[in-house]
A and B are shown apart, each in its own frame.
Chain A
């Protein structure tokens, strides 16, 4: 069953380093597709470290891998990259800046692959 979360994005050291290897490099893709989640939320969603989850917004969806994180319950973190770009809409409310942090997402376990 899908659960609602707030997703934030940002730079990580590993994302900043592996970007020099190219955006198809395994190390880069592993880093930008790792979703940090609070362990209590992982339990509620019945997912373990490394399990795939689908993130959905009004603008698109992405399948990423779960990772235990220090984020508070209800909050998710993922590094900048193509997996989060798919979830962001182009509306900027007249500011020029898309809503790239604080994105409302639906999350569910993905058993398709």
Chain B
């Protein structure tokens, strides 16, 4: 006798891999395993197809333990810590973000997330000068000039071009690619250069200088130099004419600006250029965001604390100071005495010295899969992977919230449930906490 296999197709699934946040995937499930994924790019497809590979197991000090025991051990570490860190949160969903912030508030932790080491300088630049921006829908329907600067969406955001910015047909761009001019500006040729009409190769570390030059040219000043950033001045004059002549221009930037010398000042210069161009035409800018739901965590942290990253709760109210409360600095200086890393592989991604400090303190890792962080963590709590085995909400790179579906079951709890249970155990270890919160007792 053969047992009938359970087969089903889940439609309109949202992909969690990058900030393009495609919400048109079709996932084929057979007996609780994902067998096929339609409509996704290779990065999204592999996210779903490899969902069962390298799964983490619950353990304490390397020995197998129950989830309950792991949660208890995590709460013990966090309740005792004097200056803890909560970090990660890109590969999870909105409700887990909220719970992580609640926990940070409760234990007076530093809380930071993956933006800190990707587009945090962009967030600082937006705080400094503001941003003329729009949704990807506006780009799809209206943009006739698309510039990619210091970014390689062809490899990092594969469907951005076909869904929103290059080949897609929109209301006022009915011919798709033919209705758009696409320019790529970077220090090296990449697959993104191949989808552009023009590629301009600039010297490393010259972005700020080039933005300043373009802004001067937009404002009618000419410069007494033959080249800027290794490119003849005439090419920049021509680019300014193309930008001023567009009906609707958008400048997308990547980490080629944020991770290099100048950091947020590069993006400040870019945004000022976009602002100046609005004296002539509609001209907008947007960062190409994501890995994962990193935009979501910045959104949630901002609405809950007022700040998008690098927040410290040790005084009972949120304080923001990049360089002081940002994760690379906290770890580089060896300041935190315990850490909860959730939905990110901090040790696998950080500069060696920062990773070294994490290895020297009590460390809790919450992750669906084994990673460089789970390998050395004192407590490992496996989670149901958000967007695959747990539902929730993610933010697309243009700040539009989209629902994440649960496609398959997991034997483990979701990130939000794990955080909720840790919060309950931390509270239980502080019997005076309830009284303190209810009403202050008279002294003496």
The chain A residues found within 8 Å of chain B, CB to CB, are 6, 8-13, 16-17, 20-23, 59-60, 70-72, 75, 77, 80, 82, 85-86, 88-102
Contacts and interface: CB of A to CB of B under 8 A. Distances in A.
B323 A96 contact: yes
B17 interface: yes
8 contacts: A11-B155, A70-B188, A70-B189, A82-B372, A90-B353, A95-B121, A98-B117, A100-B259
Contacts of B47: 20
Contact of B261 (A23, A71, A102): A102
Contact of B323 (A70, A86, A93, A99): A93
A90 B187 CA distance: 24
Contacts of A91: 332
Nearest to A10: B152
Contact of A8 (B187, B331, B350): B187
Specify the main secondary structure of chain A where it touches its partner: loop
B326 interface: yes
A71 B323 CA distance: 32
Nearest to B189: A70
Given A13-B155, A85-B355, A96-B120, A23 B371 contact: yes
B32 interface: no
Nearest to B327: A96
Contact of B204 (A6, A9, A59, A98): A6
A12 B191 CA distance: 10
A12 to B, nearest CB: 6
Nearest to B47: A20
Given A90-B350, A94-B322, 17 more contacts: A6-B205, A17-B42, A20-B47, A21-B54, A23-B345, A23-B348, A72-B187, A85-B355, A92-B323, A92-B329, A93-B263, A95-B326, A96-B310, A98-B328, A99-B260, A101-B255, A102-B260
Given A10-B152, A22-B370, A90-B351, A95 B260 contact: no
A101 B351 contact: no
Given A70-B189, A90-B329, A95 B322 contact: yes
Interface in B169-225: 187-189, 191, 201, 204-205
Interface residues of B, number: 58
B323 A22 contact: no
B124 interface: yes
Nearest to B116: A96
A113 B156 CA distance: 34
Interface string B389-411: 00000000000000000000000
Contact of B117 (A70, A93, A97): A97
Contacts of B54: 21-22
Contacts of B354: 90, 98
B4 interface: no
Interface in B107-138: 112, 116-117, 120-121, 124
B413 interface: no
Interface string B299-338: 0000000000110000000000011001111011100000
Given A82-B372, A90-B328, A77 B348 contact: no
A21 B49 CA distance: 10
Contacts of A6: 204-205
B309 A96 contact: yes
